[in-house]
Every structure is written in structure tokens, then in C-alpha cells.
Chains A and B, each alone.
Chain A
Amino acid sequence: MAQALIDHIDPEAILLGVNADSNEAVIRQLASRLEALGYVKPSYADAVVKREQTMPTGLPLGLAENVAVPHTDPIHVNKAGVGLAVLAKPVDFANMEEPDEAVSVGIVFLLAINDKDKQIEMLQKIMGTIQSPEALAALKQAASVDDIRAVLS
């Protein structure tokens, strides 16, 4: 049976109302959570931050607050998972396709991927969510992990 996106996201790796001044701060908050939960290695956070500087992951959706999907090489990952941060105020990520452009981001999916062939469905679910303005608006409104679960189930 197909799994919902929420089944791929550890409830402990969902952060709501995140106050951060930079994309690096958001990535480090989420990465430390994924590390504490055993999904990623201690090298993961630095690797994601470094990669974001050269190969950014901001996705321009034509919205006031858009989405970013930071991630890095599988060697820094123990097991597949996703961290989700909903930000109290948006931070800038660079545009994946036009790295010189900034994208204002309000929702961050931090991806821990170790076997792409097994994580196709998870990635497609994330992209499906990103392409739904209704789902994104509901995530922004979420006051609890249960609210998030309702959107992503």
C-alpha cells in the first residue's frame, strides 16, 4: 500500500514556528534534530550547508513564501527521512535554477536520502505537496504536529 508523506517524516523532526535569521540556521536546527534521531551522521549538517552555497535548493513557486529542499550526498545519511520546518518568518534561499536569485522561503523539507531507487515515492510525494498551494497554505497555518499530519496524510 502506498504510504503518505507523513509516514516518511519523523514527528520529532517537525519544527513549527521556527525563528531563524538565515537558511543556514534553519538547516542546522533541522539537521541537528535528524542527527539526534539517528537519521544522519555528524558530518551531514556541514555537508548540506556547504552544498547549499554552491548548489542551492530554493524552489520559486510564485508565492510570497516558497519552499526549499536542502539535502546532500548519501554518504552522510544513515537512514532515509525528512525533516520539516515551518518558519515564523521567511528566510532567503538561492534559486536552484538561477543561483544568483534569492527565493523567499517559508517551508523547508530537509531530505536525508541514501538510496534513490527506494525513495522515489517519498520524493514524488514531497514534490506533489510543493505543487499544491492549498497544502502549503495549510502547513503554514499548522499549530501542531497533528495539524501537519492532517495535511500530509
Chain B
Amino acid sequence: MARQKTILFACGTGVATSTAVNATVTEAMKARGLTFNAMQCKATEVASLAEGVDLIISTTPISASVTVPIVKGLAFLTGIGKDKALDDIEAELRK
């Protein structure tokens, strides 16, 4: 079985919207038969934590210097584009 992947959830404070997005994505991936390690952080901490994670899901803009794949988290707050975002996350987890 493939190594369990790690997703870093980021938002401005690391406590509010990233918490909601983390919970939503965890539930949705579970429904698709996928689990992952979850980490949460402030947007300002992403650059230092990006190394060692497989995917970043952020509700705020992330520095262009980060090379880890990024999925925008706003879809999970607004509901707009949510299915597409979930498909993108699933694709990353299945890589």
C-alpha cells in the first residue's frame, strides 16, 4: 500500500477557515475511501512547513516560491467549485 500522504491546510490564522476546510475534506475523502495525515497552519507558516507535505489546501494566497501542489480551499467555504476541488485532491492523494 502506498505511503499515507500529508495535506497541509492553511488560512490566515490557522484556526478558523482551515479547520472547516480540513473537516470537510477529511469527510469527503473518507467517503472516497482515502485517508491522509492532516496538518494546519497560518498562511505565514506555509513556506517553512511546505517541505515534507504532499499537498497544500489554502483559503488564502500562497507565496509563489512554494513548489508543493496547491488546491484552493475557498471552494469548501463558498460551495462553488467544490466537486472539482475534491476531484483534484483525490487525484493528488492517489498519485
Contacts and interface: CB of A to CB of B under 8 A. Distances in A.
Interface of A: 51, 55, 57, 59-62, 69, 71-74, 96-99, 111, 113, 116-117, 119-120, 123-124, 126-127, 130-131
A124 B23 contact: yes
Interface in B14-45: 14-17, 19-20, 23-24, 40, 43
Contact of A97 (B16, B23, B74): B74
B49 interface: no
B72 A127 contact: no
A124 B20 contact: yes
Contacts of A119: 19
Interface string B60-95: 110000000000101011111000000000000000
A71 B14 CA distance: 11
Contacts, number: 75
Given A71-B13, A96-B59, A127-B24, A116 B19 contact: yes
Contacts of B77: 59, 69, 96, 127, 130
A119 B18 CA distance: 12
Nearest to A54: B12
B79 A131 contact: yes
Contacts of B20: 120, 123-124, 126-127
Q: How large is the interface on B (under 10, 10 to 19, 20 to 34, 35 or more residues)?
A: 20 to 34
Most buried by A among B12, B19, B76, B77: B77
Contacts of B61: 97-99
Most buried by A among B17, B59, B80: B17
Nearest to B18: A116
Nearest to A61: B78
B80 A51 contact: no
A116 B60 contact: no
Nearest to A51: B12
B60 A55 contact: yes
A126 B19 CA distance: 12
B24 A124 contact: yes
